[in-house]
Chain A
Protein backbone atom coordinates (compact mmCIF):
# COMPACT_ATOMS: atom_id res chain seq x y z
CA UNK A 1 0.00 0.00 0.00
CA UNK A 2 2.78 2.43 0.78
CA UNK A 3 5.26 3.21 -1.92
CA UNK A 4 8.54 4.01 -0.29
CA UNK A 5 11.82 5.24 -1.54
CA UNK A 6 15.36 5.78 -0.38
CA UNK A 7 14.84 9.37 0.69
CA UNK A 8 11.93 8.52 2.93
CA UNK A 9 13.75 5.65 4.61
CA UNK A 10 16.92 7.63 5.17
CA UNK A 11 14.94 10.54 6.54
CA UNK A 12 13.09 8.41 9.06
CA UNK A 13 16.27 6.59 10.03
CA UNK A 14 18.21 9.79 10.57
CA UNK A 15 15.34 11.34 12.48
CA UNK A 16 15.26 8.30 14.76
CA UNK A 17 19.00 8.52 15.31
CA UNK A 18 18.73 12.16 16.28
CA UNK A 19 15.89 11.36 18.63
CA UNK A 20 17.91 8.54 20.19
CA UNK A 21 20.88 10.82 20.88
CA UNK A 22 18.66 13.53 22.35
CA UNK A 23 16.78 11.05 24.54
CA UNK A 24 19.80 9.10 25.66
CA UNK A 25 21.75 12.04 27.00
CA UNK A 26 18.75 13.69 28.62
CA UNK A 27 16.89 10.73 30.09
CA UNK A 28 18.82 7.58 29.28
CA UNK A 29 21.75 8.26 31.55
CA UNK A 30 21.26 8.55 35.28
CA UNK A 31 22.87 11.90 35.98
CA UNK A 32 21.98 11.93 39.64
CA UNK A 33 20.86 14.90 41.73
CA UNK A 34 21.41 18.48 40.66
CA UNK A 35 23.98 18.88 43.48
CA UNK A 36 26.22 16.27 41.88
CA UNK A 37 26.21 17.74 38.38
CA UNK A 38 29.34 18.43 36.39
CA UNK A 39 29.38 21.33 33.97
CA UNK A 40 30.69 21.90 30.47
CA UNK A 41 30.82 25.46 29.16
CA UNK A 42 29.03 26.38 32.36
CA UNK A 43 26.01 24.22 31.53
CA UNK A 44 24.98 20.90 33.11
CA UNK A 45 26.56 17.89 31.40
CA UNK A 46 23.30 16.30 30.28
CA UNK A 47 22.26 19.50 28.59
CA UNK A 48 25.58 19.97 26.88
CA UNK A 49 25.63 16.46 25.45
CA UNK A 50 21.96 16.38 24.49
CA UNK A 51 21.44 19.85 23.09
CA UNK A 52 24.80 21.34 22.21
CA UNK A 53 26.84 18.35 21.14
CA UNK A 54 23.49 17.07 19.91
CA UNK A 55 23.18 20.05 17.61
CA UNK A 56 26.49 19.15 16.05
CA UNK A 57 25.39 15.54 15.77
CA UNK A 58 22.17 16.52 14.02
CA UNK A 59 23.94 18.71 11.51
CA UNK A 60 26.32 15.84 10.84
CA UNK A 61 23.66 13.17 10.31
CA UNK A 62 21.46 15.49 8.29
CA UNK A 63 24.40 16.64 6.20
CA UNK A 64 25.44 13.08 5.44
CA UNK A 65 21.88 12.05 4.56
CA UNK A 66 21.28 14.97 2.24
CA UNK A 67 24.67 14.93 0.52
CA UNK A 68 24.96 11.18 0.03
CA UNK A 69 21.43 9.85 -0.09
CA UNK A 70 19.05 12.49 -1.34
CA UNK A 71 18.02 12.72 -4.97
CA UNK A 72 19.81 15.39 -6.90
CA UNK A 73 17.81 15.44 -10.09
CA UNK A 74 14.40 17.06 -10.21
CA UNK A 75 11.49 15.12 -11.66
Chain B
Protein backbone atom coordinates (compact mmCIF):
# COMPACT_ATOMS: atom_id res chain seq x y z
CA UNK B 1 0.00 0.00 0.00
CA UNK B 2 2.99 2.29 0.13
CA UNK B 3 2.68 2.64 -3.63
CA UNK B 4 -0.78 4.06 -3.10
CA UNK B 5 0.53 6.54 -0.61
CA UNK B 6 3.38 7.60 -2.87
CA UNK B 7 0.94 8.40 -5.62
CA UNK B 8 -1.19 10.38 -3.21
CA UNK B 9 1.80 12.40 -2.03
CA UNK B 10 2.77 12.99 -5.63
CA UNK B 11 -0.70 14.27 -6.28
CA UNK B 12 -0.54 16.60 -3.29
CA UNK B 13 2.81 17.98 -4.38
CA UNK B 14 1.71 18.62 -7.95
CA UNK B 15 -1.49 20.17 -6.75
CA UNK B 16 0.36 22.50 -4.40
CA UNK B 17 2.85 23.39 -7.11
CA UNK B 18 0.16 24.19 -9.63
CA UNK B 19 -1.64 26.30 -7.09
CA UNK B 20 1.53 28.22 -6.33
CA UNK B 21 2.22 28.82 -10.01
CA UNK B 22 -1.30 30.01 -10.54
CA UNK B 23 -1.14 32.23 -7.48
CA UNK B 24 1.85 34.01 -8.88
CA UNK B 25 -0.25 35.18 -11.80
CA UNK B 26 -2.80 36.74 -9.49
CA UNK B 27 -2.80 40.46 -8.89
CA UNK B 28 -0.92 41.90 -5.98
CA UNK B 29 -3.70 43.71 -4.20
CA UNK B 30 -2.14 43.21 -0.85
CA UNK B 31 -1.97 40.15 1.30
CA UNK B 32 -5.27 40.61 3.12
CA UNK B 33 -7.46 41.12 0.10
CA UNK B 34 -5.75 38.42 -1.87
CA UNK B 35 -5.81 35.86 0.86
CA UNK B 36 -9.28 36.49 2.15
CA UNK B 37 -11.42 37.19 -0.86
CA UNK B 38 -9.41 36.04 -3.82
CA UNK B 39 -9.19 39.61 -5.03
CA UNK B 40 -12.83 39.28 -5.93
CA UNK B 41 -11.69 38.05 -9.30
CA UNK B 42 -13.10 34.58 -9.43
CA UNK B 43 -14.58 33.55 -12.74
CA UNK B 44 -17.73 31.50 -13.24
CA UNK B 45 -16.24 28.04 -13.61
CA UNK B 46 -13.94 28.47 -10.65
CA UNK B 47 -16.76 29.81 -8.54
CA UNK B 48 -18.92 26.84 -9.49
CA UNK B 49 -16.27 24.37 -8.46
CA UNK B 50 -15.41 26.32 -5.33
CA UNK B 51 -19.00 26.20 -4.21
CA UNK B 52 -19.49 22.57 -5.13
CA UNK B 53 -16.28 21.39 -3.53
CA UNK B 54 -16.45 23.50 -0.40
CA UNK B 55 -19.78 21.87 0.43
CA UNK B 56 -18.35 18.47 -0.25
CA UNK B 57 -16.12 17.94 2.71
CA UNK B 58 -15.00 14.85 4.55
CA UNK B 59 -18.48 14.73 5.96
CA UNK B 60 -20.19 14.32 2.62
CA UNK B 61 -17.48 12.39 0.86
CA UNK B 62 -16.54 9.97 3.61
CA UNK B 63 -19.06 10.37 6.40
CA UNK B 64 -22.20 10.48 4.30
CA UNK B 65 -21.52 7.21 2.51
CA UNK B 66 -20.87 5.60 5.89
CA UNK B 67 -24.38 6.52 6.97
CA UNK B 68 -25.71 5.46 3.59
CA UNK B 69 -24.31 2.03 4.32
CA UNK B 70 -25.85 2.13 7.79
CA UNK B 71 -29.34 3.42 6.90
CA UNK B 72 -29.54 2.61 3.22
CA UNK B 73 -31.18 4.57 0.43
CA UNK B 74 -33.06 6.76 2.90
CA UNK B 75 -29.77 8.46 3.73
CA UNK B 76 -29.00 8.94 0.05
CA UNK B 77 -32.46 10.47 -0.25
CA UNK B 78 -31.54 12.81 2.57
CA UNK B 79 -28.28 13.76 0.91
CA UNK B 80 -30.10 14.61 -2.30
CA UNK B 81 -31.71 17.67 -0.75
CA UNK B 82 -28.41 19.31 -1.56
CA UNK B 83 -29.15 19.40 -5.28
CA UNK B 84 -30.74 22.83 -4.92
CA UNK B 85 -28.46 24.47 -2.39
CA UNK B 86 -26.10 26.35 -4.66
CA UNK B 87 -29.05 27.81 -6.52
CA UNK B 88 -30.83 28.69 -3.30
CA UNK B 89 -27.85 30.41 -1.79
CA UNK B 90 -26.88 32.38 -4.85
CA UNK B 91 -30.48 33.31 -5.52
CA UNK B 92 -31.27 34.55 -2.05
CA UNK B 93 -28.08 36.05 -0.72
CA UNK B 94 -25.26 35.48 -3.15
CA UNK B 95 -25.70 38.45 -5.35
CA UNK B 96 -26.89 40.78 -2.63
CA UNK B 97 -23.88 40.05 -0.50
CA UNK B 98 -21.52 40.45 -3.42
CA UNK B 99 -23.18 43.76 -4.25
CA UNK B 100 -22.96 44.91 -0.68
CA UNK B 101 -19.34 43.83 -0.52
CA UNK B 102 -18.48 45.69 -3.68
CA UNK B 103 -20.13 48.83 -2.37
CA UNK B 104 -18.60 48.76 1.09
CA UNK B 105 -15.28 47.16 0.31
CA UNK B 106 -16.02 44.30 2.66
CA UNK B 107 -13.76 41.31 2.28
CA UNK B 108 -14.79 39.19 5.21
CA UNK B 109 -18.10 38.37 6.77
CA UNK B 110 -17.12 40.51 9.74
CA UNK B 111 -16.79 43.52 7.44
CA UNK B 112 -20.23 42.82 6.09
CA UNK B 113 -21.76 42.49 9.55
CA UNK B 114 -20.14 45.75 10.61
CA UNK B 115 -21.35 47.55 7.52
CA UNK B 116 -24.93 46.55 8.33
CA UNK B 117 -25.00 46.72 12.11
CA UNK B 118 -22.22 49.13 13.00
CA UNK B 119 -21.21 47.27 16.12
CA UNK B 120 -17.68 46.12 16.92
CA UNK B 121 -18.93 44.07 19.83
CA UNK B 122 -21.23 42.11 17.56
CA UNK B 123 -18.45 41.39 15.12
CA UNK B 124 -16.18 40.14 17.87
CA UNK B 125 -18.89 37.95 19.41
CA UNK B 126 -19.64 36.40 16.05
CA UNK B 127 -15.96 35.93 15.34
CA UNK B 128 -15.60 33.93 18.54
CA UNK B 129 -18.55 31.72 17.62
CA UNK B 130 -17.08 31.32 14.19
CA UNK B 131 -13.69 30.24 15.48
CA UNK B 132 -15.33 27.71 17.78
CA UNK B 133 -17.55 26.09 15.20
CA UNK B 134 -15.00 26.30 12.43
CA UNK B 135 -12.44 24.49 14.56
CA UNK B 136 -14.92 21.67 14.94
CA UNK B 137 -15.55 21.69 11.22
CA UNK B 138 -11.83 21.43 10.52
CA UNK B 139 -11.55 18.72 13.15
CA UNK B 140 -14.17 16.66 11.33
CA UNK B 141 -12.20 16.89 8.11
CA UNK B 142 -8.93 15.97 9.78
CA UNK B 143 -10.64 12.95 11.32
CA UNK B 144 -11.98 12.00 7.90
CA UNK B 145 -8.53 12.18 6.41
CA UNK B 146 -7.19 10.17 9.31
CA UNK B 147 -9.65 7.39 8.53
CA UNK B 148 -8.46 7.31 4.94
CA UNK B 149 -4.81 7.20 5.95
CA UNK B 150 -5.62 4.59 8.57
CA UNK B 151 -7.13 2.30 5.96
CA UNK B 152 -4.22 2.60 3.60
CA UNK B 153 -1.36 2.82 6.03
CA UNK B 154 -2.56 0.15 8.45
CA UNK B 155 -1.67 2.50 11.27
CA UNK B 156 -3.77 3.22 14.29
CA UNK B 157 -6.09 6.18 14.20
CA UNK B 158 -4.07 8.62 16.30
CA UNK B 159 -0.91 8.23 14.25
CA UNK B 160 -2.90 8.59 11.06
CA UNK B 161 -4.49 11.74 12.44
CA UNK B 162 -1.15 13.31 13.25
CA UNK B 163 0.36 12.40 9.91
CA UNK B 164 -2.65 13.67 8.01
CA UNK B 165 -2.76 16.95 9.94
CA UNK B 166 0.91 17.43 9.30
CA UNK B 167 0.44 16.75 5.60
CA UNK B 168 -2.32 19.29 5.30
CA UNK B 169 -0.36 21.77 7.38
CA UNK B 170 2.66 21.47 5.12
CA UNK B 171 0.45 21.70 2.08
CA UNK B 172 -1.00 24.94 3.42
CA UNK B 173 2.38 26.30 4.36
CA UNK B 174 3.80 25.76 0.90
CA UNK B 175 1.11 27.83 -0.69
CA UNK B 176 -1.28 25.05 -1.48
CA UNK B 177 -4.05 27.36 -0.39
CA UNK B 178 -2.79 30.39 -2.21
CA UNK B 179 -4.99 30.12 -5.21
CA UNK B 180 -7.98 28.73 -3.40
CA UNK B 181 -10.43 28.93 -6.23
CA UNK B 182 -7.95 27.29 -8.56
CA UNK B 183 -7.15 24.67 -5.97
CA UNK B 184 -10.84 23.91 -5.54
CA UNK B 185 -11.39 23.63 -9.27
CA UNK B 186 -8.60 21.13 -9.51
CA UNK B 187 -9.95 19.13 -6.58
CA UNK B 188 -13.41 19.30 -8.07
CA UNK B 189 -12.30 17.60 -11.25
CA UNK B 190 -10.52 14.92 -9.30
CA UNK B 191 -13.57 14.34 -7.13
CA UNK B 192 -15.95 13.94 -10.05
CA UNK B 193 -13.60 11.62 -11.87
CA UNK B 194 -12.89 9.67 -8.72
CA UNK B 195 -16.58 9.13 -8.09
CA UNK B 196 -17.17 7.87 -11.60
CA UNK B 197 -14.20 5.53 -11.51
CA UNK B 198 -15.25 3.98 -8.23
CA UNK B 199 -18.86 3.63 -9.35
CA UNK B 200 -17.81 1.87 -12.53
CA UNK B 201 -15.44 -0.39 -10.61
CA UNK B 202 -18.17 -1.39 -8.19
CA UNK B 203 -20.74 -2.00 -10.90
CA UNK B 204 -18.19 -4.14 -12.67
CA UNK B 205 -17.17 -6.14 -9.65
CA UNK B 206 -20.68 -6.39 -8.29
CA UNK B 207 -22.38 -7.61 -11.43
CA UNK B 208 -24.47 -4.52 -12.09
CA UNK B 209 -26.78 -2.38 -10.00
CA UNK B 210 -29.65 -4.84 -10.06
CA UNK B 211 -27.57 -7.66 -8.61
CA UNK B 212 -26.09 -5.38 -5.98
CA UNK B 213 -29.45 -4.00 -4.85
CA UNK B 214 -31.10 -7.42 -4.72
CA UNK B 215 -28.17 -8.66 -2.69
CA UNK B 216 -28.59 -5.82 -0.23
CA UNK B 217 -32.29 -6.62 -0.06
CA UNK B 218 -31.51 -10.08 1.23
CA UNK B 219 -29.05 -8.72 3.78
CA UNK B 220 -31.32 -6.00 5.16
CA UNK B 221 -34.43 -4.97 3.27
CA UNK B 222 -34.78 -1.83 5.41
CA UNK B 223 -31.92 -0.35 3.42
CA UNK B 224 -34.16 -0.07 0.39
CA UNK B 225 -36.91 1.75 2.20
CA UNK B 226 -37.38 5.55 2.18
CA UNK B 227 -37.42 5.74 5.95
CA UNK B 228 -35.07 2.84 6.46
CA UNK B 229 -37.94 0.82 7.84
CA UNK B 230 -38.74 3.57 10.30
CA UNK B 231 -35.22 4.17 11.59
CA UNK B 232 -35.27 7.66 10.17
CA UNK B 233 -38.53 9.55 10.43
CA UNK B 234 -40.00 11.52 7.55
CA UNK B 235 -39.75 14.62 9.73
CA UNK B 236 -36.09 14.09 10.43
CA UNK B 237 -35.19 13.48 6.80
CA UNK B 238 -37.30 16.39 5.57
CA UNK B 239 -35.80 18.71 8.19
CA UNK B 240 -32.59 18.49 6.25
CA UNK B 241 -34.15 20.87 3.74
CA UNK B 242 -33.51 23.32 6.58
CA UNK B 243 -30.19 22.14 7.95
CA UNK B 244 -28.46 21.70 4.61
CA UNK B 245 -30.96 23.80 2.71
CA UNK B 246 -32.48 27.04 3.91
CA UNK B 247 -30.23 27.08 6.95
CA UNK B 248 -27.17 27.32 4.76
CA UNK B 249 -28.20 30.89 4.08
CA UNK B 250 -26.89 31.49 7.55
CA UNK B 251 -23.57 29.81 6.99
CA UNK B 252 -20.63 32.20 7.13
CA UNK B 253 -18.67 30.23 4.56
CA UNK B 254 -21.43 30.64 2.03
CA UNK B 255 -21.52 34.36 2.52
CA UNK B 256 -17.76 34.53 2.29
CA UNK B 257 -17.68 32.62 -0.98
CA UNK B 258 -20.47 34.70 -2.43
CA UNK B 259 -18.47 37.82 -1.75
CA UNK B 260 -15.82 36.60 -4.11
CA UNK B 261 -17.26 36.68 -7.57
CA UNK B 262 -16.90 39.23 -10.38
CA UNK B 263 -20.22 39.76 -12.02
CA UNK B 264 -23.80 38.60 -12.28
CA UNK B 265 -23.11 36.95 -15.58
CA UNK B 266 -20.37 34.82 -14.10
CA UNK B 267 -22.58 34.02 -11.15
CA UNK B 268 -25.42 32.79 -13.34
CA UNK B 269 -23.20 30.41 -15.25
CA UNK B 270 -21.65 29.13 -12.07
CA UNK B 271 -25.01 28.33 -10.50
CA UNK B 272 -25.97 25.84 -13.17
CA UNK B 273 -22.55 24.31 -13.48
CA UNK B 274 -22.07 24.15 -9.73
CA UNK B 275 -25.42 22.44 -9.31
CA UNK B 276 -24.50 19.76 -11.81
CA UNK B 277 -21.08 19.15 -10.29
CA UNK B 278 -22.32 19.07 -6.70
CA UNK B 279 -25.29 16.91 -7.63
CA UNK B 280 -23.18 14.33 -9.40
CA UNK B 281 -20.62 14.07 -6.64
CA UNK B 282 -23.25 13.88 -3.89
CA UNK B 283 -25.50 11.35 -5.58
CA UNK B 284 -22.73 9.06 -6.74
CA UNK B 285 -20.63 8.99 -3.61
CA UNK B 286 -23.61 8.32 -1.34
CA UNK B 287 -24.89 5.64 -3.68
CA UNK B 288 -21.44 4.07 -3.52
CA UNK B 289 -21.65 3.98 0.27
CA UNK B 290 -24.98 2.20 0.04
CA UNK B 291 -23.63 -0.24 -2.53
CA UNK B 292 -20.76 -1.03 -0.20
CA UNK B 293 -23.12 -3.09 1.91
CA UNK B 294 -23.32 -5.61 -0.88
CA UNK B 295 -19.54 -5.92 -0.81
CA UNK B 296 -19.50 -6.75 2.85
CA UNK B 297 -18.10 -3.39 3.87
CA UNK B 298 -18.69 -2.17 7.40
CA UNK B 299 -20.71 0.99 7.85
CA UNK B 300 -18.06 3.30 9.29
CA UNK B 301 -16.20 6.39 8.16
CA UNK B 302 -13.50 4.32 6.52
CA UNK B 303 -15.89 2.76 4.04
CA UNK B 304 -14.97 4.77 0.97
CA UNK B 305 -11.27 4.22 1.56
CA UNK B 306 -11.95 0.54 2.09
CA UNK B 307 -13.99 0.23 -1.09
CA UNK B 308 -11.21 1.92 -3.02
CA UNK B 309 -8.61 -0.34 -1.50
CA UNK B 310 -10.57 -3.48 -2.29
CA UNK B 311 -11.69 -2.61 -5.79
CA UNK B 312 -8.81 -0.74 -7.30
CA UNK B 313 -5.26 -1.67 -8.09
CA UNK B 314 -2.79 0.09 -5.74
CA UNK B 315 -1.96 2.65 -8.41
CA UNK B 316 -5.59 3.43 -9.21
CA UNK B 317 -6.35 3.55 -5.48
CA UNK B 318 -3.63 6.14 -5.05
CA UNK B 319 -5.09 8.25 -7.80
CA UNK B 320 -8.58 7.85 -6.42
CA UNK B 321 -7.45 8.93 -2.97
CA UNK B 322 -6.94 12.33 -4.51
CA UNK B 323 -10.72 12.62 -4.47
CA UNK B 324 -11.52 12.48 -0.74
CA UNK B 325 -8.29 14.28 -0.03
CA UNK B 326 -9.42 16.90 -2.51
CA UNK B 327 -12.77 17.12 -0.78
CA UNK B 328 -11.00 17.72 2.49
CA UNK B 329 -8.42 20.15 1.13
CA UNK B 330 -11.02 22.22 -0.68
CA UNK B 331 -13.10 22.52 2.43
CA UNK B 332 -10.31 23.04 4.91
CA UNK B 333 -8.74 25.80 2.83
CA UNK B 334 -11.96 27.78 2.76
CA UNK B 335 -12.75 27.20 6.42
CA UNK B 336 -9.24 28.00 7.53
CA UNK B 337 -9.43 31.30 5.68
CA UNK B 338 -12.71 32.04 7.41
CA UNK B 339 -11.18 31.22 10.75
CA UNK B 340 -8.12 33.37 10.14
CA UNK B 341 -10.24 36.22 8.82
CA UNK B 342 -12.38 36.05 11.93
CA UNK B 343 -9.36 36.24 14.17
CA UNK B 344 -7.17 38.66 12.24
CA UNK B 345 -9.69 41.02 10.72
CA UNK B 346 -12.55 40.84 13.16
CA UNK B 347 -10.69 40.62 16.44
CA UNK B 348 -7.01 41.42 16.20
CA UNK B 349 -7.03 44.34 13.79
CA UNK B 350 -10.02 45.82 15.52
CA UNK B 351 -8.23 45.77 18.84
CA UNK B 352 -4.80 46.73 17.55
CA UNK B 353 -5.01 48.23 14.06
CA UNK B 354 -1.28 48.80 13.89
CA UNK B 355 -0.35 45.15 14.00
CA UNK B 356 2.53 44.30 11.73
CA UNK B 357 3.60 40.85 10.62
CA UNK B 358 0.10 39.90 9.55
CA UNK B 359 1.35 37.11 7.36
CA UNK B 360 3.34 35.55 10.16
CA UNK B 361 0.49 35.79 12.63
CA UNK B 362 -1.90 34.26 10.11
CA UNK B 363 0.34 31.25 9.59
CA UNK B 364 0.91 30.84 13.32
CA UNK B 365 -2.80 31.05 13.94
CA UNK B 366 -3.47 28.45 11.26
CA UNK B 367 -1.11 26.03 12.93
CA UNK B 368 -2.73 26.76 16.27
CA UNK B 369 -6.18 25.98 14.91
CA UNK B 370 -4.86 22.77 13.41
CA UNK B 371 -3.54 21.78 16.78
CA UNK B 372 -6.84 22.49 18.46
CA UNK B 373 -8.77 20.71 15.74
CA UNK B 374 -6.60 17.60 15.97
CA UNK B 375 -7.08 17.59 19.70
CA UNK B 376 -10.86 17.71 19.33
CA UNK B 377 -10.89 14.49 17.33
CA UNK B 378 -8.10 12.67 19.09
CA UNK B 379 -10.87 10.31 20.11
CA UNK B 380 -12.47 9.43 16.79
CA UNK B 381 -16.17 10.35 16.67
CA UNK B 382 -18.49 7.40 16.05
CA UNK B 383 -19.84 8.89 12.85
CA UNK B 384 -18.24 12.03 11.45
CA UNK B 385 -21.48 13.33 10.05
CA UNK B 386 -23.08 14.02 13.41
CA UNK B 387 -20.19 16.15 14.61
CA UNK B 388 -20.13 17.97 11.30
CA UNK B 389 -23.83 18.71 11.44
CA UNK B 390 -23.40 20.00 14.99
CA UNK B 391 -20.90 22.52 13.71
CA UNK B 392 -23.06 23.55 10.76
CA UNK B 393 -26.15 23.89 12.93
CA UNK B 394 -24.21 26.06 15.36
CA UNK B 395 -23.05 28.42 12.64
CA UNK B 396 -26.53 28.66 11.21
CA UNK B 397 -27.99 29.38 14.63
CA UNK B 398 -25.60 32.28 15.02
CA UNK B 399 -25.84 33.83 11.59
CA UNK B 400 -29.10 32.96 9.90
CA UNK B 401 -31.30 35.78 11.15
CA UNK B 402 -28.76 38.53 10.96
CA UNK B 403 -27.67 37.67 7.44
CA UNK B 404 -31.18 37.37 6.07
CA UNK B 405 -32.55 40.40 7.90
CA UNK B 406 -29.41 42.37 7.22
CA UNK B 407 -29.70 41.82 3.49
CA UNK B 408 -33.42 41.97 3.03
CA UNK B 409 -34.80 44.58 5.40
CA UNK B 410 -34.54 48.31 5.07
CA UNK B 411 -33.41 49.09 8.59
CA UNK B 412 -31.24 46.38 10.18
CA UNK B 413 -31.50 46.19 13.94
CA UNK B 414 -28.28 45.90 15.93
CA UNK B 415 -29.98 44.71 19.10
CA UNK B 416 -31.84 42.23 16.97
CA UNK B 417 -28.58 40.92 15.59
CA UNK B 418 -27.06 40.52 19.05
CA UNK B 419 -30.08 38.69 20.42
CA UNK B 420 -30.39 36.51 17.36
CA UNK B 421 -26.82 35.27 17.65
CA UNK B 422 -26.86 34.75 21.39
CA UNK B 423 -30.30 33.20 21.61
CA UNK B 424 -29.73 31.13 18.50
CA UNK B 425 -26.51 29.57 19.69
CA UNK B 426 -27.60 29.49 23.32
CA UNK B 427 -30.80 27.57 22.74
CA UNK B 428 -29.12 25.34 20.19
CA UNK B 429 -26.42 24.31 22.67
CA UNK B 430 -29.01 23.93 25.42
CA UNK B 431 -31.04 21.46 23.42
CA UNK B 432 -27.92 19.52 22.56
CA UNK B 433 -26.69 19.43 26.11
CA UNK B 434 -30.05 18.38 27.55
CA UNK B 435 -30.66 16.03 24.64
CA UNK B 436 -34.10 17.49 24.10
CA UNK B 437 -36.00 16.78 20.94
CA UNK B 438 -37.59 19.38 18.73
CA UNK B 439 -40.49 17.61 17.06
CA UNK B 440 -38.13 14.96 15.71
CA UNK B 441 -36.32 17.44 13.50
CA UNK B 442 -32.62 18.16 13.56
CA UNK B 443 -31.73 20.67 16.28
CA UNK B 444 -30.49 23.21 13.77
CA UNK B 445 -34.17 23.98 13.25
CA UNK B 446 -34.66 25.10 16.85
CA UNK B 447 -31.41 27.08 16.65
CA UNK B 448 -32.48 28.91 13.53
CA UNK B 449 -35.98 29.56 14.84
CA UNK B 450 -34.48 30.91 18.05
CA UNK B 451 -32.22 33.21 16.11
CA UNK B 452 -35.20 34.56 14.20
CA UNK B 453 -37.12 35.01 17.45
CA UNK B 454 -34.14 36.77 18.97
CA UNK B 455 -33.94 39.16 16.08
CA UNK B 456 -37.65 39.88 16.26
CA UNK B 457 -37.35 40.55 19.98
CA UNK B 458 -34.48 42.96 19.46
CA UNK B 459 -36.37 44.71 16.70
CA UNK B 460 -39.42 44.97 18.94
CA UNK B 461 -37.44 46.39 21.86
CA UNK B 462 -35.78 48.97 19.63
CA UNK B 463 -39.15 50.04 18.23
CA UNK B 464 -40.57 50.40 21.73
CA UNK B 465 -37.68 52.58 22.79
CA UNK B 466 -37.89 54.93 19.82
- Report A's interface with B, CB cutoff 8 A: 1-4, 7-8, 10-12, 14-15, 18-19, 22-23, 26-27, 31, 34-35, 37, 39, 41-44, 46-47, 50-52, 54-55, 58-59, 62-63, 65-67, 70-75
Contact = CB atoms under 8 A, between A and B. Distances in A.
Contacts of A59: 272, 275-276, 279
Nearest to B275: A62
A54 B408 contact: no
B176 to A, nearest CB: 31
Contacts of A39: 210, 213
16 contacts: A8-B91, A11-B92, A12-B91, A14-B91, A15-B91, A19-B241, A26-B77, A42-B213, A43-B73, A54-B83, A55-B83, A58-B275, A59-B275, A59-B279, A63-B272, A65-B87
A74 B80 contact: no
Contact of B268 (A35, A55, A58, A70): A70
The majority secondary structure among interface residues of chain A is: helix
B383 to A, nearest CB: 21
A7 B213 CA distance: 41
Interface stretch (B55-63, B220-228, B348-356): B220-228
B265 interface: yes
B434 interface: no
Contacts of A58: 83-84, 275, 279
Given A27-B234, A50-B80, A55 B87 contact: no
Contact of A43 (B84, B95, B213, B237): B213
Contacts of A10: 91
Interface in B154-197: none
Interface in B422-448: none
Interface string B78-110: 001101100110011001000100000000000
